[in-house]
Amino acid sequence: MIYLDHAATTQVAPEVFAAMQPFLQDQYGNPSSWYKLAHTAAAALDEARQRLAEYVGASPREIYFTGCGSEADNWAIKGTAWALRDKGRHIITSQIEHHAVLHACQALEQDGFEITYLPPDSSGLITAQQVAEALRDDTILVSIMHGNNEVGTLQPIEEIGEVCRERGVLFHSDMVQTLGKLPLNLADMPVDMAAFSAHKIHGPKGIGAMYLRRGVKIRNLLDGGGQEWSKRAGTENVAGIVGFGQAIELLQQRGEQEIPRLTALRDKLLEEIPKRIPHVIVTGHRRQRLPHIASFCLRYIEGEGILLSLDDADICASSGSACTSGSLEPSHVLLAMGYPHEVAHGSLRLSLGRNNTEQEIDHVLEVLPGIVERLREISPLWADARRSGGI
Ligand SMILES: *Cc1c(COP(=O)(O)O)cnc(C)c1O
């Protein structure tokens, strides 16, 4: 099997599994308890926090573990809105955010907040200028993702953050896809909050983290016990946190060689697929993009058809985002970038990870043209286009 859906999730690394195992078995203490068994868990938690903090250039006190990346996004957005609602009720985000951000903003609209959804250009870029022009006296938060999970476009978050800082507005960025793919030094970045997730970096599912800059006060999403300095209640997912820490350690060990390797595989896909298959559009920005995401629209076919045929060939890929690909709705990201419905329907995302080899990429390049040709032969869109002389 060839797995090319690392933007959806990744396999737990063997080292991560091994590091987690003791905390699911013998080391089951609750980190808040007082006996030695609990100290082991508490120490492991501290170590993982320290590791993540160091890796993203933050202080350990600025890292809060959450149940997932989606929770971190929700907390940053709703926590800010609830804390600052007397100051203003306007929030700026983009049309191409992950649903964890978009739907959190939509939920706030029901509570009387006003949201501006900035449109990207055709390459998926949002500019600092757009943010500057949308800022108002009652704007309390800007939330713009770092790297897009569908088309890979990287946003100029330093410039956007500077604009926010000048105007005294908090800035949150969803960094789930950039963790491990770009060097991050949050101490030097004009970012107040950021969301991370372990399962996109060969860690376990169900564990995320929020970066919250020291001094920034937001309301809690989960109230209860005193965990995470009384900011996020719930007995810690110790094994998950330990796994997250171990996944970070692997990034520290391998990151530097891994990024150019992924970039080369990505570029091979971006260059070769349009050469070997007619009527293909590369989506996303050509240069400002994540090293592991290659994305396309294959004209005159449906993404679902491609995915089924690829699955038959034991290749896992995705069309649109994982959450929407169960439905027939085309990706909100591609529609926002200006692609018509029928083009967006033919989207294909190949996202790379640690275990992918060049041979696997060559194999995909060999089988994909035949799959597309067969699908087009039975596609009404293809027949229509030929009849009308479009191709
Ligand atoms: C996967 C993903 C999330 C959600 O993370 P979970 O841990 O699955 O909740 C949020 N944002 C982006 C950009 C993602 O790719």
* pLDDT tens digits for range 138-172: 999 999 999 999 999 999 999 999 999 999 999 99
Atom 14 of ligand 1, nearest CA residue: 176
Helices 358-377 and 238-276 cross at an angle (nearest 10°) of 60
Is the minimum distance from the CB of 321 to ligand 1 under 6 angstroms? no
Give the span between the Cα atoms of 39 and 27, in whole angstroms: 10
Cβ of 97 less than 6 Å from ligand 1:
no
Stretch 107-133: mean pLDDT, rounded?
A: 98
**Separation of CA 34 and ligand 1 centre (Å):** 35
- Tens digit of each residue's pLDDT (9 = 90 or more) over 304-358: 899 999 999 999 999 865 445 555 688 999 999 999 999 999 999 999 999 999 9
Using alpha carbons, select from 59, 68, 52 the residue that is nearest to residue 247.
Answer: 52
pTM above 0.85, yes or no: yes
Burial of 140 (0-12, 13-18, 19+ CB in 10 A): buried
| Catalytic center residues | 323
Question: Mean per-residue pLDDT for 101-125?
Answer: 98
Nearest-atom number in ligand 1 for the CA of 322 is 1
How far, in Å, is the centroid of ligand 1 from the Cα of 197? Answer: 6
Distance 303 CA to ligand 1 centre (A): 21
* Tens-digit pLDDT profile for residues 229-245: 999 999 999 999 999 99
69 CA → ligand 1 middle, Å: 5
Q: Record the tokens describing residue 76, joined without a space.
A: 């940053």
Domains of the chain by start residue, with CATH: 2-7+257-387 (3.90.1150.10), 14-254 (3.40.640.10)
Q: Quick check: CB of 143 below 6 Å from ligand 1?
A: no
